[in-house]
Structure 1
Amino acid sequence: MVLDTTLRDGEQTPGVSLSVEQKLMIAEALDRLGVDIIEAGTAIASEGDFNAIKEISNAGLKAEICSFARIKKVDIDAAADANADSIFMVAPSSPIHISTKFPGKSEDDVIAMAVEAVEYAKERGLIVEFGGEDASRADLGFIKRLFAAAVDAGADRLTFADTVGVLTPEKSEAIMKELCSEFDVPIAIHCHDDFGLANINTVYAVKGGAKEFHATVNGLGERAGNAALEEVVMTLEVLYGIETNINKQNIYNTSKLVEKITGVALPLNKPIVGENAFTHESGIHTSAILRNSSAYEPITPEMVGRKRHLVLGKHAGRASVEAVMKEFGYKATEEQMKEILKRIKDMGDKGKRVTDADVRTIIETVLQVKREKRVVLEDLSIVSGMNIMPTASVKLKINGKEIIEAAIGLGPVDAAINAIKKAVKEFGDIELVSYRVDAITGGTDALVDVIVQLRRGDRIVTARGARTDIIMASVEAMLEGLNMLI
């Protein structure tokens, strides 16, 4: 089973705070993803968390809805009153946690408090998953006594929590084997990534017999984060042959939704869901990929709901250029191909990121193809100020037809892009996948380089705009990309 704690541990990522509506959107996506248990928050923490858990519990989702709780009756009451199906209740189990949270209390005192809390939770009709907090720094003999008492009191599941990420894979597997041999109820593993071992510790715990693991989408969580759901699932299923209930084709869309709502950007090279995970530039690699994708990809991008992306730069080879030209419907002589490759490599050697629009311009210049732009900017005006919502009005000529649209945004750039997207909506849903800006020179009159990534359906393109005016640079990049998509 998979317990997803994006809405609880994940929300504890510094700078992340989710509204009830945002939590419900993520919960619905997690349900479509196929997670077994959604830890929707901590009911006692705030009115917002209580309302979110209640909304999610009443949303008719297939997943079990869980609230985090301490071994306190007020926490249990809040979870039950929010209509949660279950609670993940934790008791401090290491000496440092017991002395810090319950000064003067002994291990036996903690056991007695845990038993009382579990029994009360069962009286309130809750499924109880009981965990030892900081179990990886606790005496294993005490963990066994604590777990045995919790099970006798009615706990349905147990969790071994590596709260500060100090487990190693070998210990994770060995401890789980020992615990699973002594308890008949399912045992879960909950890992943090302080040493970068959360994913592998989780995998080894499952190897050792854990029937459930806790994780977050994109590895969100306080400090260095938690085990990343997408990485653990794919490792278990592809490398270890251990199946989960996760709908793998929904992994990428769920990841992008969480990234957008939380505002926590993913590293480009993040496994499985990072933008570069299925992107190829090297000429040698691209040539092989085009013949047999498994040559340089351990899994297909389609498996996780993605598409392969070939990019051109200083490492470009003939095969990748030919693939791009085929997409554009162009053919080149041997000499023209050499010149196209040379210009692309020269651009890359100068430290520039070569966008799809750059490649198309190079190809059409060498082939002397004159292409009329289908999307042309005729006018743009922006209104912005301290007490004014930024508003943009844009006039475009699209395939000879004049279109005027206006939109608001969080800033003038956002407003301008929103207005352009409204103007081209009849051609399909154009999604701005990424937006990046760099100052090429110093000073307030700096030349800025804006690179956007746009998606229409399954097709993604990159385009550039370079101006001293960041708004115009952004608009120029958008129009370049649109001219490739429309």
Structure 2
Amino acid sequence: RGRRGRDAQHPGHRRGHDPSDDLRLLQGAEGPDQGPPERPRPQRPGPGTANTLASIEAGAEQAHVCINGLGERAGNTSLEEVVVCLAAQYEVETGINTKKIAETSSLVERLSGVYMPPSTPIIGDNAFAHEAGIHVHGLLSHSGNYEILRPEFVGKRSRIVAGKHAGRHGISSMLDDLGLEPTREQLKAVAAEVKKLGDTGKVVSDSDLYAIAKNVMDITADDRVKLKQLLVVTGNTITPTASATLLVDGVEYKGSGVGNGPIDSAINAIRNVVNGFANITLEKFSMKAITGGTDAVADVTVAVRRGEKMVTANSVNGDTVMASVEAILKGMNRLLVESNK
């Protein structure tokens, strides 16, 4: 039976060297039909990607990779990093549909329960997000200034975010997307408020930016979707259940939902109500405790989508269920307002 040459490493313990030395040893190993040299890479994604690419350059014909770099200990080499580098830098076709990379990554996150940091290359939430003023200005002038590949290539989109590093060009672009046209002085005032809020360490969501702009520009507009009533029942002998009543442009809509906990059931109830008047989906949900103790205040951030448009919203409340519902309703209102512009 033939043997196959393999060069495996443990997480990031080797010194940098020329991988072609290893490949030459494997290619010269004795044994008929040993198969093509392989490059398994159970190590940190950064060195793993670099060494995998170097090994392919040296003659490796197979690379062992994993979506999101999942694996024991420090994980395996990231599939998405290797595939994108091969396509963008080496013009090598792997047969993988790169436009499905982001969607597949999100699916693996949900199924595995292992979520990638926002700073993760290619698939992280911040991979194609731009905040700093000089970056945004350059991006708006030409996307190639700060993006070596189009985010659509991996199924993502560029986005400009507001924060303490944001400049007026970026905020002006975001307000334009929101359908607002501030004067020069109003734009300066909005930018100042955004920086002030960002300095506190808070994530400035789309709904926060809209609220700041409404206040500065003295815009009066009621939310189209309002929560009239929410009832959540949970316990050790029943399935968590929630019922919700929403007022949409003054019209009452009702719905209910079950889930694996009070928050999940409340969100499902809201989702079932919304399905009656709009196709809005919850894309991302995150929660953190601002304070300690059993009375901790919950800080919830969500991303909701309607068609091609996705917005972020945030809510802070001592009640974790209400913080979740309020954040979702804020995002829905932003999407519904924009759909009428």
TM-score, normalised relative to structure 2:
0.91
The 2-side partners of 1:215 and 1:363 are apart by 46
Specify whether residues 479 and 207 from structure 1 end up closer, same or farther in structure 2 by C-alpha distance, changes over 3 A only.
same
**CA apart distance, 1:352:** 1.5
- How far has the Cα of 1:429 moved from its partner? 4.2
Question: Could you tell me which residue of structure 2 aligns to residue 160 of structure 1?
Answer: 6
SS of residue paired to 2:55: helix
Structure 2 residue 116 is the aligned partner of structure 1 residue 266: yes
Task: Say if 1:391 and 1:406, in contact at 8 Å, map to a contact too.
Answer: yes
Residues 419-446 of structure 1: per-residue CA shift (max 9 Å, x gap): 1111112455433232222333344333
Q: Which amino acid aligns with 2:188?
A: K
Q: Give SS of 2:72's match.
A: coil
Summarize the alignment of residues 33-182 of structure 1 with structure 2, pairs less than 5 Å apart: 115=1, 150=2, 158-165=4-11, 166=13, 170-180=17-27
Using the size of structure 1 for normalisation, the TM-score is 0.65
Worse-superposed segment, 185-194 or 303-312: 185-194
Partner of 2:302: 452
Q: 1:236 aligns with which of 86, 92, 96?
A: 86
- Indicate yes or no: 2:207 matched with 1:357: yes
Q: Which one of 364, 367, 377 corresponds to residue 227 of structure 2? A: 377
State which drifts further: 302-311 or 326-335: 326-335
Cα-to-partner distance string for 1:240-272 (whole Å, 9 max, x where unaligned): 333311111111111111111111111110100
Q: 2: distance between equivalents of 1:250 and 1:287?
A: 29
Of the three residues 318, 321, 324, the one matched with 2:174 is: 324
Match of 1:227 in 2: 77
CA distance in 1 between counterparts of 2:56 and 2:133 reads 39
Q: How does 1:289-438 map to 2 (within 5 A)?
A: 289-438=139-288
1:210 to 60, 78, 86: 60
Question: Residues 53-102 of structure 1: CA distance to partner in whole angstroms, max 9, x if unpaired?
Answer: xxxxxxxxxxxxxxxxxxxxxxxxxxxxxxxxxxxxxxxxxxxxxxxxxx
Instruction: Tell me how large the CA RMSD over aligned residues is.
Output: 2.0
| Paired residues of 2:151 and 2:158 also in contact (CA < 8 A) | yes
1:369-414 residue CA offsets vs partner (Å, 9 max, x unmatched) = 1112111100000010011111110001123321111101111011
- CA deviation vs aligned residue, 1:280-315 (integer Å, no higher than 9, x gap): 111111111111111111111001011111110111
**Using the alignment, how far apart are the partners of 1:162 and 1:203 within structure 2?**
15
The answer to whether 1:285 aligns with 2:156 is: no
Which of 41, 45, 50 is the matching residue for 1:191?
41
Which residue pairs with 1:96 in the alignment? none
User: SS of the counterpart of 2:244?
Assistant: strand
Cα displacement string for residues 213-240 of structure 1 (whole angstroms, at most 9, x for unaligned residues): 1111000011111111001111122123
Q: 1:169–1:204: 8 Å Cα contact kept in structure 2?
A: no
Q: Which amino acid aligns with 2:235?
A: G
- Computing the radius of gyration over CA atoms, which structure comes out larger, 1 or 2? 1
Whole-Å Cα distance in 2 between the matches of residues 380 and 306 of structure 1? 35
Query: CA distance change for structure 1 residues 426 and 308 in 2, over 3 Å: closer, same or farther?
Result: farther
User: Do the aligned residues in 1 keep the contact of 2:45 with 2:76 (CA within 8 Å)?
Assistant: no
Give the distance between the partners of 2:212 and 2:45, measured in 1 at CA: 46
Return the alpha-carbon distance in structure 2 between the equivalents of residues 427 and 177 of structure 1: 64
Where structure 2 has 5 or more consecutive residues not aligned to the other structure, the ranges are 337-341
Counterpart amino acid of residue 170 in structure 1: H
Q: Is the 8 A contact 1:168 1:197 kept in 2?
A: no
Tell me, what secondary structure is at the counterpart of 1:433? strand
Q: Secondary structure at the match of 1:170?
A: coil
Q: Is the 8 A contact 1:357 1:484 kept in 2?
A: yes
Deviations 1:6-40 (A, max 9, x none): xxxxxxxxxxxxxxxxxxxxxxxxxxxxxxxxxxx
Question: In the alignment, is the contact (CA less than 8 A) between 2:283 and 2:305 conserved in 1?
Answer: yes
- Do the aligned residues in 2 keep the contact of 1:194 with 1:223 (CA within 8 Å)? no
CA distance in 1, matches of 2:325, 2:87: 43
State the alpha-carbon separation in 2 of the partners of residues 196 and 291 from structure 1: 30
Aligned pair in 2 of structure 1 residues 429, 218: CA closer, same or farther (>3 Å)? farther
Number of equivalences: 332
Deviations 1:160-183 (A, max 9, x none): 141524555634222224434677
Q: In 2, distance between residues paired with 1:289 and 1:411?
A: 42
Higher mean C-alpha deviation, range 426-435 or range 387-396: 426-435
CA gap 1:324/1:469 in 2 versus in 1, 3 angstroms: same
Q: What's the CA shift for 1:363?
A: 0.6
Could you tell me which residue of structure 1 aligns to residue 315 of structure 2?
465
Moved more, 433-442 or 247-256: 433-442
1:189 alignment partner, SS class = strand
| Closer/same/farther in 2, CA of residues 159 and 218 from structure 1, 3 Å limit | farther
Deviates further, 374-383 or 333-342:
333-342
